[in-house]
Each structure stands twice: as C-alpha cells, then as structure tokens.
Amino acid sequence: MRVNLPADLRAVLHTDLRWLGLAALVFLGACSSAPQASLSPLALQALEAETQGAQRYDQGQFDLAIRSFELAQQLHRRVDDPAGVARNLTQQARSQLSAGRPQAALDALATVPSPGADLLQLQATMALGDVAKVERLMPAVAQACPAACADHAALRVLQARWALSRAQPEQALAHAQAAVPLLQARQEHRELANAWRLSAQAHGQLGATALALQAANQALTLDRSLGLPERIAADWLLMGRLQHTSDPQQARAAYARAKDVALAAGLHGMVAQIDQIDQIAPRLKETAP
C-alpha cells in the first residue's frame, strides 16, 4: 500500500509536535521497493485522526484537536497499540495546555506514561502557579534534557517564561536568546514566536525598548504567517505596552491594531483587557492608522 501525503501534511512533520504517526505513513509510502506493510482499517483510522489533530493544533483549533487525539487514542486501544495511545495522550495534554486548561493536561498525563511528559508536567505546573513544585521540578527536567536533547529549545523557552515571572529579566533573556537559533534550525515557528515574544518582554523590563520592539515584530511576523489571531493581537498589545510611556501615540495605535484583530476574531476577553488599559479605549478610533 502506497500512501502519498499532500504537501501541507508533509510540512506538519517539521513542526514542534513531530508527529510520529505521520512519519509512519511516510515510511510506508517511501518503501515502494520493499514488501509493503499493511495497516488494518482501524489503524488507518487512528492515524487519520492523529493527522487531523495535528492540523487542528497548528490552526489553533485546540478543542477540535483534543477531540481528534481522544478519538485516536480510542482507536489505538482497539488495535492494542499502547505506543499510539501514549503518543496521542501527550498531544492531547499539549493541546489542553494551549487551550488554557493546565489541570486537565496534568490529569491526562497521569493516566499513562507518555513521551515528553516531564516537560509538559512542568509547563502545566507553571501555568497553575505552583511555585514550590516548579522549583522542585525545574532542575530535574533541565538535568534530564541537556543541549543535545530534542526538547532543549522548548525547555529554554519555559525557563525564560519562569525567569520573567520571577522578575529575573537577564536570565529570561539569556534563555530566550539561546532558544532562538535552535528553533530556527528546526523550523518550529510557533515556539520560535514564543521565544521572540519572551525576548521582547525581557528587553522591555531591562529598559531596552528598541530591542524589545524588534523582538516583538519578529514574533508578530511569525504569528501572521501561522494565522494565529490571538497571538497577533497579543503581539500588538505587547508593543503598545512597550511604548506606553515613551511614545503614547504609537502605543495607542498598537492598542488599536490589537483591538481590531481581537474584535474580528471574537476574542472578547482580550478586547476587555485592552479596554481596561488606562481607559485607552475611548481614544482608539482617533489614533488608529
């Protein structure tokens, strides 16, 4: 059986999720000269659900991605494939984290040993604000994932985020800048945008507004190419905050762009957040470019 993946699915293989199910399909399609492995209809359905989950995650449709990964797990269980179950459980937890449900992610990871679970558990614990547990987990995760580790760049991004939350902008900047070339080399654009955004925040806290704006623009360019409205709006909001004191007019223009994107995407929580920033909302129309 030969499976030909379209270009957009082949591209998914190079994202930060590293979809092993898709890699299996590519392998089956590539070995045309060897005896062809056969997959049962249920196994094919499981890989199809996994592929659909990958696409939905990349599109920012996290709730739909979760449903796809749950279906894939069910199908992998029916064909007695524990590796497939664990793989999709990991991606389900990652999707739940991206959807803002860290406790659900931890609950999912607790049900079965999963690849990459330590890093996801650390990320979820950070999101829950459990400082003591993060301080306990961070050294162990860092020791288990040195520079050669496949998840080292993602770990650096987490370390940068944690350092920022602890008012340590110098450390945050060092971690974020270390992550950038690694993520560029792997073409992990979603996580690369995170690294640039964290660099912008760190530069901003250090008073380097020009460098902060350059980094924020890098994040914005990536988020536009990925088509992620929530992150695009967040990038404009960040640029507004960076210029809030030094250049109020540019700040208002950035807030206006953020609000325009948020309104178009139905991001009502972000719209409310923008409206609360120094009561800037009444003047947005006057200053929008």
At 136-151, the pLDDT tens digits run 999 999 999 999 999 9
Are 254 and 240 in contact by the 8 Å Cβ rule? The answer is yes
* Distance, CA of 201 to CA of 73 (rounded, Å): 38
* Lowest mean pLDDT, pick from 12-16, 88-92, 94-98, 128-132: 12-16
Residue 29's pLDDT is 42
Q: Is residue 38 a contact partner of residue 54, using CB atoms and an 8 Å limit?
A: no
The pLDDT value given to residue 59: 84
Q: Which amino acid is at 98?
A: S
Q: What is the pLDDT of residue 79?
A: 95
Single-letter residue type at 71: L
User: What pLDDT is attached to residue 38?
Assistant: 85
Burial 162-174 (b: 16+ CB within 10 A, else e): bbbeeebbebbbb
Cβ-in-10-Å burial (0-12, 13-18, 19+) of 268 comes to exposed
pLDDT > 70: percent of the chain: 82
Evaluate if residue 17 carries a pLDDT over 60.
no
Average pLDDT, integer, range 180-193: 96
* Range from 15-19, 132-136, 256-260, 281-285 carrying the lowest mean pLDDT: 15-19
Q: Is the pLDDT of residue 51 over 70?
A: yes
